[in-house]
Structure 1
């Protein structure tokens, strides 16, 4: 077997595995509920599925000791809307859903350990690669499928400094790409960023908590257009605004470089 044939076979195997993951994204993440009863779980997300894990991973979207009181307040606000009380005291799914977040994807999924060794066994999502809580990217995403909106509560740690006392523009761009990309994936399935246009309006103070909100503009075939803004938590200050274009992809192309 030639080297190119081997890569194509690997790509097809990965494509079949991830297609199977997509079909299971509506399963309830029971393990996440047991570890944090107040947290709600999404119907679909690009991260690995807790119900498929062979051992318990860390969900980085859950509160930790580094979260500020403002971040906890906002987390409780949106998390309380993940379930609403129905008739006779029963609960049902609310308008918002929290998206769990892990520092790896394939490695924790059934069968993924083998693929992760083939691709890059030490690969990690870099926004979740800092061990010290609160040092860099602290964030949690909630999605509202009916309104086609996504909101991220983001707290920037000291390792993200750019201008003295403020967050580096590249870190802000990273979070915008992360939020809009996740939102586009919820709306359209696997996607890749085709264009990201960012306008910086006001610097974000280091250590502060801000809201990153995205909304669907339109979908045209393989194209998903998203708008995004970064604001203070009370909405009084606009820090950044952006537009993004994502293209739906066949995941097997990732290994073939196509």
Structure 2
């Protein structure tokens, strides 16, 4: 009799253990559903367009933004809306990252990475800018306002920050022609310093495209175009994804 009771108790424990293992290995559908919804928000946060107006934008930056944005859509004689010559280019704080050697960075590392000009989170403290492209005229225009963290000579924008924006604008312009591209040469002449907090225009123009080579010229002027701050030329090479994977 005692032996029978022991056997029954053993069978109950075995069955209970199996149920627990099943629950652990196969959680309820509602748990899986919640996990699948939460996972993308952790590893793949929703991208925010950082080229839209915010409270840090000065009146001159807003004026130029409205000027170019107003040319992205025009009204016909019949009162219909149609796409204009200019197009606003959205800007995000991250993009797909590649590691040399051909291996992708993990999704967790990618989620923490930041595009260089968008690594400062405080609005107005670093690089505030918005880009517009004109395919017909083969131009790209950037409205740029430099924050206090970009100071070089007291009260003025650091030359490296200006070079960064020139590389960004000409690089975006080149990528509209052939993507992806990488900078091969950047030649800059500084003409006049830029005051911190002021708004300037950075304009990139296509010079030539020869095979993989894309030559552009760029100038940085005051918001009304009357003063030349910087001028530059840039050479970009179009590359394949294979080049990126091989670290070439």
Query: Are 1:243 and 2:233 an aligned pair?
Result: yes
Q: Does residue 99 of structure 1 match 2:89?
A: yes
**Cα displacement (A) at 1:156:** 0.1
Partner of 1:89: 79
Q: Post-superposition shift, 1:118?
A: 5.7
Q: Quote the Cα distance in structure 2 between the aligned partners of 1:117 and 1:237.
A: 46
How many residue pairs get matched? 199
Give the counterpart of 1:143 among 133, 150, 163: 133
CA drift at 1:106 = 3.1
Match of 2:151 in 1: 161
Structure 1 residue ranges without an equivalent (≥5): 1-53, 108-113
Q: Show the 5 A alignment for 1:53-92.
A: 56-92=46-82
- Measure, in 1, the Cα distance between the counterparts of 2:85 and 2:78: 20
Tell me, yes or no, if structure 1 residue 219 matches structure 2 residue 235. no
SS of equivalent residue, structure 1 residue 193: strand
Q: Which runs of 4+ in 1 moved over 3 A?
A: none
Hey, what's the Cα distance between the residues in 2 that align with 1:128 and 1:203?
Answer: 23
Of residues 170, 177, 194, the one that matches 1:180 is 170
* In structure 1, C-alpha distance between the alignment counterparts of 2:107 and 2:184, rounded to whole Å: 27
CA distance in 1, matches of 2:127, 2:69: 20
- Between the aligned partners of 1:96 and 1:148, the Cα distance in structure 2 is 10
Cα distance in structure 2, aligned partners of 1:86 and 1:189: 33
Kindly provide the CA deviation profile for residues 54-86 of structure 1, in whole angstroms up to 9, marking residues without a partner as x: 764210000000000000000000000000112
The aligned counterpart of 2:106 is 117
Deviation at 1:131, TM superposition (A): 1.1
SS in 2 for 1:179: helix
Give, in whole Å, the separation in 1 of the partners of 2:131 and 2:107.
30
Structure 2's unaligned 5+ residue stretches are 1-43, 98-102
* CA root-mean-square deviation: 1.7
Rate the CA distance shift 1:183–1:167 in 2: closer, same or farther, 3 A: same
Q: CA, structure 1 residues 76+156, in 2 after alignment: closer, same or farther (shift >3 Å)?
A: same
1-structure distance, mates of 2:149, 2:232: 23
1:144/1:56 Cα in 2 relative to 1: closer, same or farther (>3 Å)?
Answer: same
Q: Among residues 205, 220, 224, which one is paired with 1:230 in the alignment?
A: 220
Structure 1 residues 133 and 168: alpha-carbon distance in aligned structure 2, compared to 1, 3 A threshold: same
**Residue 170 (structure 1) aligned with residue 160 (structure 2):** yes
TM-score (norm 1): 0.74
